[in-house]
Structures are given as C-alpha cells and as structure tokens.
Structure 1
Amino acid sequence: MIYHEPTAHTAVPPTSGITVYGCAPDERHLFDSLAPAHGVTLTTTAEPVTVENADLAHGGRCISVSHKTPISNETLLALEKVGIRYVSTRCVGFNHIDVDFAASIGITVGNVAYSPDSVADYTLMLMLMAVRQAKSTIRRTDAHDYRPAATRGRELRDLTVGVVGTGRIGVAVIDRLRGFGCDVLAYDIKPRSAAEGVEHVDLDNLVECSDVVTLHAPLTAESHHLLDRRRIDRMRPGAYVINTGRGALVETPALVTALEEGRLGGAALDVIEGEEGIFYADLRGREIPNGWLARLQEMPNVLVSPHIAYFTDHALRDTVENSIVNCREFESRLQHV
C-alpha cells in the first residue's frame, strides 16, 4: 500500500498509458486533470473490467480498476494475454480480486490508501446516530409524529467502545473518540504502535466488555466472520455494532437474529455481506435480492448506507492520484530491473 498526500506537480511528457476501468464521471474528471502532471496517458471506460473488454488495455502494462465489481480469474488471464503486468485497485481491500492467482500469472496487484478521515468521520456519525436512535426519530418526524421516543438515547462518554482493527482508519477513529471521553478498547492481530495509550485486549474480551463494537479490519480468510455467532452471543445486552469495514466481517444471520430478539441495541452498517450487485445500483421499485439486507432495513434500530463512508472529495482525489502514482512507480521499477 502506498499513501501520498496530494502535492503540487510540474507537468512532464507522457511516458506511459493506463487504462482506467469502472471510471465514474467524478473520477474521470480527476484522472483527466491529474494525468498530465504525472506524465501518463489515459484510456477510460465506465464499464468494469471483463474478459470481453480486456483488449482496451492492449499496449499498456498497467490498469486501474474499481472495487465495485469482482474481477474473475478468467479476466485476469485475459489481461495477462494483452500484456498487463500491474493492476491498481482503487481501494484499500483486495477481497474482490484473487491476488495469489494474479501473482501466479505474473500480475502484481496494488491497492491505494486515502485520507482515513473520510471513513473515521463517517464511523463517528453512524455511532452517534445509533446510540441516539436517529433512524426511528427521523421516521417518526417524517410521519409528523413529533413525540420523543419512549427510550432515551445514550451518551458516548458513558460507554465503552471496542475498536477492531488499528490501522490508519482505526487509529483515526480512536483519536476522535478521545474527545468524547469514552473508554476505548482495541484489538488487532498485530497491535500497532500508532494506537498507543489504548488498552489492547483479545477479541473475545473486547466484545464482552464493549457497549459499541466498530469494525475496521481488512477482510481476509482469517477475518471472515470475525464477529461470528459465538461472539455476537457474548456481546453486552443492548450493545451496538458499527461496520464500515467489509460486510463479511460479520456473520449476518447471527446479527439479524440478535437484533430481532432484542439482545442488541442496534447496528449501523455501511457494508453488508452480499452487497455486490445491490449497492451502487438504482433498485427503486424492485425486490432486493438479499433477504438479510431487506430484514435489516426494516428494523427501526438499524441504519444501512451503501458503502459510501470513503466517499468524500478529499478521499476521491487521493484515490485517483495514488492509483496513477502506483502505476508510474511500477513502470519505474520495471525500467530499473
């Protein structure tokens, strides 16, 4: 992972080409404005990379892809055949691409980092909305019922928040929580020095002792269903789950059961297991093809948003620029081999 704060650049002659797949209009504007300063030429398409359109990248060695659509091994093989050696995915996670298979056919996959403040800010917003029952309040108000709820909200200073994952985003969340005066517990497979001053505990201890559990771990084979049925059952009565990491960090059926039985106070979820093909699509007037998501959205104490915690102007610029920079640095390394 490479993270670069945006810097001023002087224009240089174009020296390499990058094909940008899954390029949304706001991304295209940024790619077009940043490419000359980094000395690259671009081919952009709104379509995700597939076997059928891999030929668009012919003649180059690097492509940039979105995180919104899984990339099949067949697509990777098609990219390898047209000469692609580097895939820059415009996100932190790799769960949409088989990195090991890509490496086996000579393709390097790189991710990008962006300002962690986008997700950290959003996480705190969801946390505050969850403990203050914002969804049910807004629903009642929209129906012109202006009476207060029967149950009062809670204040963060009275709660213990468990932060799962202490990378750059997790640490940014912890920094924000300090201002609220709450107790903070942290868990990470490899405790980070950046999260000093916070009590690190094992995951079982964290879920048992926290009023709020917020997830910021990457999704890997080891972290799949990190918050599983056993751990959900061990959470404090009335506790809240906040997830701005990846949907499959949580065993969704177990979460739904705990919420429907009233054992948990609520949840705020920016990511959902099985969100692919649903989030980022306009499904108004259509049946949601994910029964667990539909049940969660019906609950007055569950907030759902469509994987947009990262979506700020600052973070988007970081993502686009760092995708370009990563491709340029890969090209540079090839030239010096």
Structure 2
Amino acid sequence: MSYSDLGLIDSEVIAERHVRALDDSSPSAVPTTGVRVFGCGHDEAVLFREMGTRLGLTPSITEEAVSETNAELARGNRCISVSHKTQITNSTLLALSRVGVEYISTRSVGYNHIDVEFAASIGISVGNVDYSPDSVGDYTLMLMLMAVRHAKSIVRRADTHDYRLNDTRGRELRDLTVGVIGTGRIGTAVIDRLEGFGCRVLAHDSRPHASADYVPLDELLRQSDIVTLHTPLTADTHHLLDRQRIDQMKHGAYIVNTGRGPLLDTEALLSALESGRLGGAALDVVEGEEGVFYADCRRKLIENKALVRLQRLPNVLISPHSAYYTDHALNDTVENSLVNCLNFESGRTA
C-alpha cells in the first residue's frame, strides 16, 4: 500500500479530454444525461449548473447529504455525486442500489467515508476526483510557519491589545528538518514549496517517486523538527503516528496534519503535547470531526472532548478541514466529478 495521495483516475486529464471533445463537436453531438448531486452547498451548486450545461449534463441539486431516507431522490439517475463530509452507510448504499444507482463520484481524493468493497458487491462503482494539489500544499506551508512562529498565541494576545513579545521567539524553516510522509501529488507539492525555504527535507513513502531524500519512517521521525502527513487513510495507515511512533520524535518537534484525522492517535498526541514532549501541532483534520466541522457549533456542546482539549492548548492550531477549499480546487472538484459520471455513462475508463 502506497502512502501516496490516492487517485483512482486521473480526472484532470479526462476533464481536459472531454472539454476538447465538446468544443470540437456540434451542439447536437453534446450528450445529455442526468446526475443527482448530494450534500451540495451554494458555492458548489453554482458551479455544477454552469459546468453541467457546458458538459451536457443536467445536475439535480440536493443540499442534504445522501442518506437512507433521501436515496429515493436518486431514482432515474445511474450516477450520483456525493460530498466527503458525511459517512455513507452500507444501508444508504443498499437504498441507492434499489433505486438504480450504479456509480458514485465522491468529491474528494480519499474515499474512506464509503465502503468501496461493499458498494462493489451490490453493483455500485465508486470513483474519486483529483483537484489542485497547490491548495493543500499552500495551506500546509502556512500551518508550518504559523506553528513554528507561535502565531496562535501572538494573535490572541494582540486581539486583547497585549503587544508584548513574551517568550514567543520563533524558528526559521531554513534551520529545520521537515519530514514529509506520503509523496503523492500533495506531498510532492509540499516538498516543492519547502525547497524555497532552504530547509532539509526527508520523505517516506512505500513507493518513492518524488525527487526527495527517502528514509525509513523511524529515521524520519527521529530526525525531523516538523512531521507533515499526506497519506490516504487505510487500515494500514490508521493511527500511523501512534504512541510508540510519537515517542520516537524529537523533543520539541511539531506535527502537521492536512491528510485525515485518524492518521494520528489523538490521545497519544494530547499526552505528548500536554507533557511538553512535542513543541506543537497544526491540524486541519482531527479524529471525530464528523458532525462538528462544517457546522455552526457556537451554541452547541462539543461532544468531541479530545478536540476541545486540543483547542485549549496554546501551541495547537485547529482549522475545520479547509485546506482544500480554494476557488481553483473547487472548480476542479466539481468538473471532475461530472466528468466521472460522463465517463461512466459512456462506458469509458481512465
């Protein structure tokens, strides 16, 4: 199993191929078919309608995430597009199968929110999408810089008009070693950006293919001042950084996670942070984020106690799974999700 970013299909290439074909054809040659889009926010809905027209698709928009209770809305559509924000249960997959769904395009690189094997067993294929790796690459570098420059505590104090420096001396990336775990499209984008800062970069992947200094995982953990995670979430990578591996890290090191929350053992991370073994963490994803991230929880009790503990720490940055969220990446995601459905309907494979 590679730690590279997953890519069931090279959607960007296929999208370009489809757009060229449509541009070169007459209006009468443009195919027309339908697709039901679930879990679709306003910003996505605008893009789905614009791109659907261009690609010859008629998207039907549903704001709510797909579920067993609303699966009937997909009747008449062999293809649906779903968000990554909600777990799709096997009972939902069964309900979709009963109304004739044969293909699910998830608007994400990862598909750990869908039991792909179960879906296949009931006749449903699942496809993912690629989107601009620069979105997450840029965000990851931002989190690294914020972590090593103590941005959270500095900004919070400034917000209360406390402008003293206190003990907030930061560190420069050129003086640090950064360990990149997973060197697919996103991991490679991070490595490309780090080269401009002059820091030493180590990499780990079971199938190395980037231009980087690859080392065993244990060695990367021992030598890195910052460890950043860019692997897919699988049975093999669940709690990839567990208590034992976190204990191998340098004293005062930082962890950055823009991959998936369960790549990190949260309790082990909290223990290392609260004891002072780690210098800090910057997390765009956390275990148990479902039902919390993407919701207005200002007047709600947060039941994820580990998340609350993390947010109380002055050296921990939390953002709500937003690293991918740029105009460029959203355009890629919507277009490639529709292209997946076009390919399925026309019998094309990547």
Fold-level similarity (TM above 0.5): yes
| 1:152 and 2:166 matched | no
In structure 2, what is the equivalent of residue 73 of structure 1? 90
The equivalent of 1:29 in structure 2 is 46
Q: Alignment identity in percent?
A: 64
The TM-score with structure 1 as length reference comes to 0.96
How many Å apart are 1:14 and its aligned residue?
4.4
Alpha-carbon distance between aligned partners in 1 of 2:167 and 2:68, rounded to the nearest angstrom: 55
2:275, 2:202 → 1: CA distance?
Answer: 26
- In the alignment, is residue 248 of structure 1 matched against residue 262 of structure 2? yes
Gapped regions of structure 1 (runs ≥ 5): none
CA distance in 1 between partners of 2:137 and 2:102 (Å): 33
Partners of 2:78 and 2:84 lie apart in 1 by: 20
CA deviation after TM superposition for structure 1 residue 151, in Å: 3.9
| In structure 1, distance between residues paired with 2:53 and 2:299 | 43
**1:217 partnered with 2:231:** yes
2:316 aligned with 1:308, yes or no? no
Determine which of 308, 312, 322 is the counterpart of 2:336. Answer: 322
Range 43-52 or range 310-319, more displaced: 43-52
- 1:278 and 2:295 are equivalent in the alignment: no
Higher mean C-alpha deviation, range 81-90 or range 2-11: 2-11
* Partner-residue secondary structure (3-state), 2:309: helix
How far, CA to CA, are the matches of 1:89 and 1:285 in structure 2?
Answer: 31
Contact 2:67 2:92 (8 Å CA) reproduced = yes
Q: 2:75 matched to 1:58?
A: yes
Asked whether the equivalents of residues 2 and 111 of structure 1 are also in contact (C-alpha less than 8 Å), the reply is no
SS at match of 2:347: helix
Deviation at 1:202, TM superposition (A): 1.1
Aligned residues: 332
1:4 aligned to which of 12, 29, 34: 12
SS of residue in 1 equivalent to 2:11: coil
Displacement, 1:39?
1.1
Secondary structure at 1:318's aligned position in 2? Answer: helix
> RMSD of aligned C-alpha atoms?
1.3
Distance in 2 between the 1:45 and 1:236 partners?
48
The equivalences for 1:107-122 within 5 A come to: 107-122=124-139
Alignment of 1:85-124 (within 5 A): 85-124=102-141
1:41 match: 58
- Structure 2 portions without partners, runs of 5+: 1-8
User: Could you state the TM-score of these two structures normalised by the residue count of structure 2?
Assistant: 0.93
Contact 1:14 1:41 in 2 (8 A): no
The 2-side partners of 1:232 and 1:23 are apart by 38
Tell me the distance in 2 between the aligned counterparts of 1:64 and 1:275: 22
Matched, 1:239 2:253: yes
Hey, what's the Cα distance between the residues in 1 that align with 2:40 and 2:163? 43
How far apart, CA to CA, are the structure 1 residues paired with 2:330 and 2:276? 38
Distance 1:266 1:172 in 2: 23
Partner deviation per Cα, 1:98-145 (whole Å, 9 max, x = no partner):
001001111100000101000000000000000000000001111111
Q: Residue 133 of structure 2 aligns to which amino acid in structure 1?
A: P
Q: How many angstroms does 1:3 deviate by?
A: 2.7
Distance in 2, Cα, partners of 1:98 & 1:53: 19
Moved over 4 A (4+): 5-9
The question of 1:125 aligning with 2:142 is answered: yes
